[in-house]
Amino acid sequence: MYETIYETLILVLALVAGVLLGAIFFGGLWWTVRKGVLSRQPALLFFGSLLLRTSIALAGFYFIGRSHWERLLGCLFGFVLARLLVTRLTQAAEEPACLAEAASHAP
């Protein structure tokens, strides 16, 4: 009985860790795109961000997975879930700016 509860807890923690890794990865991507537009050296910023975000995500997946495909799958599911959440949150954050920009082009 305790073994089942333990395994379930581990899978839930893997899911939460996946959400955290995804939030770091996709939140960092959103931040990079916003700052890269105004940067003097956008290629360096984008490449450095890609290396850092990918390294964090891969290290996290490696640490969480540890030869257990169930944990790896839970972490991956959380990562994808974070992508959906970050996409929705960033679209909501961008809408007022888009509306203001569209209003400034009105005749």
Model confidence at 107, pLDDT cuts 50, 70, 90, reads: low
Domain around 72: 25-98
CA separation, residue 1 to residues 6, 15, 17, 71 (Å): 9, 22, 24, 19
Does residue 103 lie in a domain region?
Answer: no
At residue 7, the pLDDT reads 93
Domains in the chain: how many in total?
1
Task: Note the pTM of the prediction, 2 decimals.
Answer: 0.82
Does residue 105 lie in a domain region?
Answer: no
Does residue 20 lie in a domain region?
Answer: no
pLDDT at 97 exceeding the cut of 70: no
